[in-house]
Amino acid sequence: MPQLHLHLLSDSTGETLEMIAKAALAQFEGVEVVRHFWPMVRSQQHLDRIMGEITRNRGLVVFTLVNPEIRIQLESRCAEAQLPTVSALDAVTESLSRMLGQEQLHRPGRQHQMDEAYFARVEAIQFTIAHDDGLLWEEWEEADIVLAGVSRTSKTPTSIYLANRGYKVANIPVVPESPPPPALYRLKRPMVVGLTTSPDRLVQVRRNRLLSLNQAPETDYVDKERVDDEVRYARRMFADNNWPVIDVTRRSIEETAAAVINLHNERRIGQAGTKPV
User: Is 150 annotated among the ligand-binding residues?
Assistant: yes
pLDDT in the model for residue 104: 65
| 190, burial (CB in 10 Å: exposed 0-12, middle 13-18, buried 19+) | buried
* Each residue's pLDDT tens digit, 32-68: 888 888 888 888 898 998 999 899 999 999 998 888 8
**Residue 249 annotated as lining a ligand binding site:** no
- The tally of CA atoms less than 13 A away on the side-chain side of residue 232 is 6
Q: Cβ(77)–Cβ(50) under 8 Å?
A: no
pLDDT value, residue 101 = 81
pTM of structure: 0.62
Q: How many CB atoms lie within 10 A of CB 243?
A: 17
CA–CA distances in Å: residue 56 to residues 36, 53, 60: 12, 5, 12
Residue 153 marked ligand-binding = yes
- Is 151 annotated in a binding site? The answer is yes
Low-confidence stretches of the chain (pLDDT beneath 50): 110-114, 276-277
User: What size, in residues, is the chain?
Assistant: 277
Residues 6+ apart with CB under 8 A from 34: 3, 4, 5, 6, 57, 59
Residue 179 per-residue DSSP state: P
CA distance linking residue 223 with residue 44, whole number of Å: 58
Q: Which residues pair with 173 in a beta bridge?
A: 149
Q: Distance between CA 159 and CA 165 in Å, rounded?
A: 10
Class level of CATH domain 116-274:
alpha beta
- Which residues in the chain belong to E strands, given as ranges? 3-10, 32-38, 59-64, 85-87, 145-149, 169-173, 191-196, 245-247
CA torsion, points 6, 12, 18, 20, in degrees to nearest 10?
Answer: -100
- Look at residue 100 in the predicted model and tell me its pLDDT: 78
Q: What's the pLDDT at 114?
A: 47
The reported pLDDT for the residue numbered 276 is 47
Strands 145-149 vs 85-87: parallel, antiparallel or unpaired: unpaired
| Residue 12 near residue 107, CB atoms below 8 Å | no
How high is the pLDDT of residue 111? 44
CATH for 3-110 (2.60.40, 2.40.360, 3.40.1350, 3.40.50): 3.40.50
Positive/negative CA dihedral, 176, 229, 234, 222:
positive
Residue 107 has what pLDDT?
57
Domain with CATH 3.40.50 in the chain: 3-110, 116-274
Cβ atoms 243, 192 nearer than 8 A:
yes
